[in-house]
C-alpha cells in the first residue's frame, strides 16, 4: 500500500517538475514554477518518509532542521554573490550523491553482496566519481568567485598540467573498472576509497587553471555534472523520479554550457583545458591613438538630446554597485521621452543570466533588457551607446584580431552607434584597456571614474541640480 503511494507520488512529482521548468519560459508565469517545484518536492519527500523501512526518524528530523538552518541564510545572499551560492549548491548536490554512492557500496558489501551486479556497480562508481569531483570542483569555483584568500583567483598553470589531470581521472576510472569486476575482493574496499580520493583531487585540479571570465561556462558544466550524479544515484537506487529530475538538471546545465561556450566562441575542452587569461599577448594596434575625455555636463547633454540610448552593462557595473544609480539615469531619460534599452551579452556577469537579475533587482523593467542578437542589427540607429563596466564584450578586436584571446567571440556592436560614451575606472590603460580600440574611436568619448559616482553625477546633472561635487 505505502509502496503504491510512493510510486504515485513519484509520478505526480515528475509531472510537477516538468511543469515547473515549463513555466520558466516567461517571467509572468515563472513564479508558478516555484510553487510546482515545491509541491513536487513535498509530495516526494513525504511519500518516502512514510515508508515502513524508515525507522530512525530522529536522524531524519535532525538533518532536515540542519538543512533549513543553513539553507535559509544561503538564500538571502546579495545578488552579486548568487554565482557563489549556485556553485556551493552544485557542490552540496555532488556531495550528497558521492556519500549515498559510498553508503550503498559498503551496505552491499556487508549485507547484500549479490546486489553488487556489474550494472549496479558501474552506476555506483559513476555516481561516486561524478559526485565527489563535482563536490570539490564546485567548492573551488565557489571559493574563486567569493575571492577566498587562499584560493588563487588567477588561473594557475604548470607544464604537463593536462597530462596530470587526465592521468588522475584515468587512474580513478581504472580502479573503478577493477571494483566493478571484483566488487567483493579483499582489496575492493581500499580501491573504493582510492576512487573517492582521486575524484576529490580531480575536482580541485580541474578548477585550478580556470579564471573568472570562464566562470559562467564552468558553473554550467558543473551544473550538468551535478545533474548526472543525481541520475547515477537514481540508477543505483532504481528510482525513476531521481533519474528524471537529474536528467532535467543535467540537460539544463548542458544547454547553458553550450550557450555560454558559443557566446565566447570556445569549445568545452578549450574552457576546461585551455587556461583562459594566461597567455594574453598585448596586440600591437598600428599607431597608438589617444582617447578623448568628455565632461559630465557634455555627456548629460548628449544623453538628453538622444532619442535612443543603449546601455551596455558589464560585471564592472555590479562590482561598483552602480545598478541603482543606473536605474535613476533610466528614469531621468525615459521621463524626457528618450528610449533606453539595456544590451545584455550572454556572458556578462559571473553566471548565465546574472546581469538580468542584477538589473531586475534595481527595478529596471525586464522589457527594457534586450539580447545581443536582437540589439546588434539596430545599433546603427542608436544615438548613444553607454558602456558601463563592460570591456571584452564590446571590443571590436574580437571581429578581426586573430591571436587575440577573444577573437571570434560575438560582441555587442557598440562601435556602430552614432556616439559612444564609455565609463572607465582609471585613465591608466590597463592590459585590457590598451587593447580596446573602441575607446579611441573617433565617435567615442570617455568618462573616467567609479561607475557609481559617474552615473550619479550624470543623474544629478539631468535632474537639473547641476551641482557637481
Considering only residues 184 to 203 of the shown chain, the ones binding other proteins according to CB under 8 A are: 184, 186, 189
> How many chain residues interact with other proteins (CB under 8 A)?
121
Task: Decide if 388 contacts 345 (C-beta within 8 A).
Answer: no
Site residues (CB under 8 A) for other proteins, limited to 206-245: 219-220, 223, 226-227, 230-231, 233-245
Figure out which of the listed residues 133, 207, 208, 369 binds other proteins, where binding follows CB under 8 A. 369
Site residues (CB under 8 A) for other proteins, limited to 110-139: 110-115, 117, 119-120
Site residues (CB under 8 A) for other proteins, limited to 241-260: 241-256
In three-state secondary structure terms, 100 is helix
Q: What is the x/- site pattern for other proteins, positions 255-294, by CB under 8 A?
A: xx--------------------------------------
Question: Residue 131, by phi and psi: left (phi above 0), alpha (psi -120 to 50) or beta?
Answer: alpha
Does 78 bind other proteins (CB under 8 A)? Our answer is no
Compute the least distance from the CB of residue 324 to other proteins, in Å.
13
Compute the least distance from the CB of residue 44 to other proteins, in Å.
6
Active-site annotation holds for 392: yes
Nearest residue (CB) to other proteins, 225 versus 291: 225
Instruction: State the catalytic residue, choosing from 249, 392, 413, 457.
Output: 392
Task: Decide if 316 contacts 430 (C-beta within 8 A).
Answer: no
Site residues (CB under 8 A) for other proteins, limited to 311-350: 346
Figure out which of the listed residues 57, 281, 402, 469 binds other proteins, where binding follows CB under 8 A. 57
φ, ψ dihedrals at 213, nearest 5°: -65, -25
Figure out which of the listed residues 173, 285, 360, 463 binds other proteins, where binding follows CB under 8 A. 360
Q: In sequence order, which residues have a C-beta less than 8 Å from that of residue 417 and are 6 or more positions away? A: 310, 379, 380, 382, 383, 384, 385, 443
Handedness of CA 305, 307, 312, 317 (dihedral sign): positive
Figure out which of the listed residues 11, 12, 109, 156 binds other proteins, where binding follows CB under 8 A. 109
Tell me how far CA of residue 17 lies from CA of 41, 255, 373, in angstroms: 8, 18, 30
Q: Distance between CA 376 and CA 413 in Å, rounded?
A: 6
Does 401 bind other proteins (CB under 8 A)? Our answer is no
CA-wise closest residue to 91 among 49, 38, 146, 43: 146
Compute the least distance from the CB of residue 143 to other proteins, in Å.
17
Figure out which of the listed residues 67, 380, 430, 466 binds other proteins, where binding follows CB under 8 A. 67
Compute the least distance from the CB of residue 40 to other proteins, in Å.
8
Does 7 bind other proteins (CB under 8 A)? Our answer is no
Q: In sequence order, which residues have a C-beta less than 8 Å from that of residue 430 and are 6 or more positions away? A: none
CA-wise closest residue to 278 among 443, 157, 107: 157
**Residue whose grid cell is 562590482:** 319
Annotated active-site positions, please? Answer: 392
Amino acid at each position: 500500500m505505502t509502496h503504491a503511494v510512493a510510486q504515485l507520488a513519484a509520478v505526480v512529482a515528475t509531472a510537477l517538475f516538468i511543469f515547473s521548468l515549463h513555466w520558466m519560459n516567461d517571467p509572468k508565469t515563472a513564479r508558478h514554477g516555484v510553487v510546482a517545484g515545491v509541491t513536487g518536492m513535498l509530495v516526494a519527500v513525504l511519500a518516502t518518509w512514510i515508508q515502513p523501512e524508515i525507522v530512525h526518524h530522529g536522524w531524519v528530523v535532525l538533518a532536515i532542521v540542519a538543512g533549513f538552518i543553513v539553507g535559509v541564510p544561503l538564500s538571502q545572499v546579495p545578488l552579486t554573490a548568487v554565482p557563489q551560492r549556485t556553485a556551493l549548491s552544485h557542490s552540496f548536490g555532488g556531495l550528497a550523491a558521492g556519500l549515498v554512492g559510498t553508503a550503498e557500496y559498503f551496505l552491499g558489501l556487508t549485507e547484500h553482496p549479490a546486489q553488487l551486479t556489474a550494472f549496479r556497480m558501474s552506476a555506483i562508481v559513476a555516481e561516486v566519481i561524478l559526485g565527489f569531483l563535482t563536490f570539490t570542483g564546485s567548492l573551488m569555483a565557489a571559493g574563486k568567485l567569493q575571492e577566498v584568500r587562499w584560493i588563487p583567483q588567477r588561473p594557475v598553470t604548470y607544464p604537463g598540467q593536462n597530462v596530470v589531470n587526465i592521468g588522475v581521472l584515468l587512474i580513478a576510472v581504472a580502479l573503478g573498472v577493477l571494483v566493478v569486476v571484483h566488487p567483493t575482493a579483499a582489496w575492493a574496499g581500499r580501491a573504493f576509497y582510492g576512487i573517492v580520493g582521486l575524484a576529490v583531487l580531480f575536482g580541485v585540479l580541474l578548477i585550478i587553471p580556470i579564471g573568472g571570465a570562464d566562470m559562467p561556462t564552468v558553473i554550467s558544466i558543473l551544473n550538468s555534472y551535478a545533474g548526472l550524479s543525481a541520475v547515477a544515484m537514481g540508477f543505483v537506487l532504481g528510482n525513476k523520479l531521481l533519474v528524471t529530475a537529474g536528467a532535467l538538471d543535467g540537460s539544463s546545465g548542458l544547454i547553458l554550457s553550450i550557450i555560454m561556450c558559443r557566446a565566447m566562441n570556445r569549445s568545452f575542452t578549450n574552457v576546461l583545458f585551455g587556461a583562459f587569461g594566461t597567455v594574453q599577448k598585448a596586440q600591437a594596434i598600428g599607431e597608438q591613438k589617444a582617447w578623448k575625455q568628455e565632461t559630465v555636463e557634455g555627456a548629460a547633454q548628449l544623453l538628453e538630446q538622444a532619442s535612443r540610448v543603449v546601455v551596455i552593462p558589464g560585471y564592472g557595473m555590479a562590482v561598483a554597485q552602480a545598478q541603482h544609480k543606473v536605474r535613476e539615469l533610466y528614469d531621468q531619460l525615459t521621463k524626457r521621452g528618450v528610449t533606453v534599452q539595456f544590451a545584455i551579452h550572454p556572458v556578462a556577469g559571473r553566471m548565465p543570466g546574472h546581469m538580468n537579475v542584477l538589473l531586475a533587482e534595481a527595478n529596471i523593467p525586464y522589457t527594457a533588457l534586450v539580447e545581443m542578437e536582437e540589439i546588434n542589427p539596430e545599433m546603427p540607429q542608436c544615438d548613444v551607446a553607454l558602456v558601463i563596466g563592460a570591456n571584452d564584450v564590446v571590443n571590436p578586436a574580437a571581429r578581426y584580431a586573430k591571436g587575440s584571446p577573444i577573437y571570434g567571440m560575438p560582441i555587442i556592436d557598440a562601435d556602430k552607434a552614432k556616439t559612444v560614451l564609455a565609463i572607465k575606472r582609471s585613465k591608466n590603460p590597463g592590459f585590457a584597456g590598451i587593447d580596446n580600440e573602441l575607446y579611441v574611436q573617433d565617435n567615442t568619448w570617455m568618462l573616467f571614474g567609479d561607475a557609481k559616482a559617474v552615473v550619479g553625477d550624470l543623474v544629478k546633472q539631468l535632474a537639473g541640480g547641476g551641482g557637481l561635487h
